Structure formats: C-alpha cells, structure tokens
Amino acid sequence: MKILINALGIQDSGGITVLKKVLLECLENKKTKYHIICNDNKNIRLLIDIYQNTEHFIFQVVKTRSFMYRLYYENIIFKKIIHYNKIDLVYNFSGSAQFFLKIPQLIKIQNLLFYSKKLDDVYKRKNKFMLWLKQIVLKRFIFKSMLNNITYLEIQSSHVKDYLSDYINIEDKKFYVKSDIEVFDRLFKKPNEYDFSKKIKFLYIVGPHFKYIHKNFSDFVCAMVSLKNKHVDFEINITLTREQLHNSSLWDSKLDSKTIFLGYVNTKNEINSLFTDNTILVSTSIIETLGLHVVEAVQNGILAISPNELYAKSVYGDDISTYELFDVESLINKITLFTHNDIKDIILKNQHYLIENETKKYQNVVDIFDEILKGENVQK
C-alpha cells in the first residue's frame, strides 16, 4: 500500500507537533510506503533529518510560494506524482483536497478560520471588509468547493463537525474523530502551587501570526494594561520578541517593563520550563480546532483561561476556566476570583476530562487509512 501525505502549508509549531505524531504512528506499519510532500522551512528540515534513514518515508520538499501556486501544484503536479508512484490514498494533512483525483482522499481539518460565524462578525464590526474577503471569503469558497467533493474527513474534536455544518452539507460525510494528544499518565504533572499574594506569571503562547484577527491579541493586552493600572504584581512571559511586538499596533509599550520576551520557543523542554508555580496561561483565540497551547498547560498542571466558546468546552471540558470574548473586565474578574483550593481542583478536573475525552477517539491514523481502503474495496 502507498499513501501520499500532503503536508503543504504546515510550518508553525502546532502543525509540526501534530505531524511528528502522525509520522510516529505511520512507523508502526512497515508494510506501507509514505510519500510526504511538504514546504521547505526550518521546522520541516529538522523533521526530515530525524527520518532521513527511514526507508518507507520519502520526503519531497517544495519551495513555499503563493496560495495559487499551491493550488496548481496539488491539482496538476499531484496527478503525475500519484500516477508515477501508484498511490492508493491521499492524506491531505492541512485541510486542502484535489479536484480531479479518482482515488480516495482523507482530509484532516486543522483550520476553522473559514468556518466561524463569530469570526465573520468580528471582521465586519471592525470594518475590515476587504481583509475579510482576502483572508477568509475567497479561501472559504475554494476550500468549500474541495470539501463538497470529499467523503472522508478527519477531525480533532467533535466541535469541528458543528462549525463545518454552518457552511457545508455534512450528511454525506464520514467523520473520523482522532486524538492528536498523548494522554499517558506520566505526561500529566500534579497541579502547580498558587499564591496570589506573590507575583503572578501570565503566559501567552503564540507565533508570528499574532496580528491576525482570529488570535484576538488585543483582549490580552488590554487586560494586562488594566491590571498594571490597578498595581497588580505580575509578569508576562510571551513567545514573541520585543521587536515583533513593537512593530505591531496591538502592543502597549507600557507593558515592556513587566514582560519577558521569549521569542520562538523550539524544544519540548523549553516549552515545559514555562509551566511553573503561580503561572496562568491565557488564550484569547476566537476559534481553534484544538488549541495545543492550552492542552500543554493542562498537562503541565497550570491554570488555563480560554474564551467561553464551543471549541473550548469540547476540547478542554466544562470545567475549563473561561471568560467572555472581547470583554476585558470578564477576563480580569476571572483572574482575580480564584482561590488556592479552587485552582488545584480545576486543574485536576481539566486533566481528568482531557484523558477521558481523548481516549474515546481514534488513536492511530493507520487504523483510519485501513478502514477507508477496506470500505473502498468492498464498494468495488
């Protein structure tokens, strides 16, 4: 059996982390050859170095170009690659699909930007109509057209299905809810210690795309400025550089003195070192398929605060601490109302839900491949 893994478009830490897990799962099936097509970037190169001597992995690196070039490559060049290598199944890892293929395709939905009514409303309220057309509507039209012709969809959480149903007809779709989170007991640390009479550490994990509207960075900045004005003793740890923030109109330089500018955090050890006593991770995203930064916070025993949205309840559970989007006072009130005992109980409930919920899902993508191909053979 030969499977083409289309990883074009994957470059940030969240996508790379999930791709690493998928490749580990694929290693379990030595009888299958995997042809992996990906963009040329630093993270991918590091990944290729790890697997360069794995004979049933073939990496094909494509230079990153425009979105239109990607469409051309996936729909024209792919046909040649698939024919030459006698591919049985295409696994589209980053949400795209091919219009003219006769072999089965599995699409992994990792991006809900094009399927969020709330996000649409935010663009409109901010009078960002042209930006909305460019960043959302045009790509939505293309991706919807792709999805309409595809039967098999892999999702990370059940809420993804609900968001998609607002934009496409899902009656003829087959959904596979697969876990991309490791939930071994050894990965879950006991709750950290909290004492709000001492300095609070606010952790904000985000990449260079923090300026995008869906990241809703202004909620975080406004809340931190308000806490500073109230003379709360706190420190900000953020995975951006001073230069990145100062080049943005979203940042307030009054927060510089309270901020540790971490820049890009690369290794697992570096990330885990951020989850310390008296640390609160704040997530402000309008939409997420998973929100790996929140998951890692829960695994590492720290308190996480997320918007009160469907995705948060689905992925992190009803006991996750939430605030109302675009309501800075709601975020501040959530921060100031915790007690020591509340926090430990909340973290333990978050961990319990994460373990129980992820265990119910598909654990290995190879099982999904096998199920699809067996079903296709039965139909023939």
Dist CA 58 CA 51 (whole Å): 9
Q: Structural domain boundaries of the chain?
A: 2-179+361-379, 185-359
pLDDT over 70 percentage in the chain: 99
- 185-359 CATH: 3.40.50.2000
**Which pTM was predicted?**
0.89
Strands (E), 162-311: 174-177, 200-204, 234-238, 259-261, 279-282, 303-307
> What is the per-residue pLDDT for 17?
82
Mention the CATH class of domain 2-179+361-379: alpha beta
Dist CA 364 CA 151 (whole Å): 19
Mean pLDDT calculated for residue range 171-180? 95
Report helix angle 292-299 to 13-26, nearest 10: 70
Residue 249 corresponds to which tokens in the numbers above?
A: 């109109």
Identify residue 317 by its one-letter amino acid code: G
**Residues 314-324: tens digit of each pLDDT:** 999 999 999 99
Cβ proximity of 178 and 156 under 8 Å:
yes
> What is the per-residue pLDDT for 379?
65
- CA-based nearest residue to 194, from 276, 274, 260: 276
Integer CA distances (angstroms), 363 to 27, 89, 111, 220, 377, in order: 14, 19, 20, 34, 23
Mean pLDDT calculated for residue range 294-309? 96
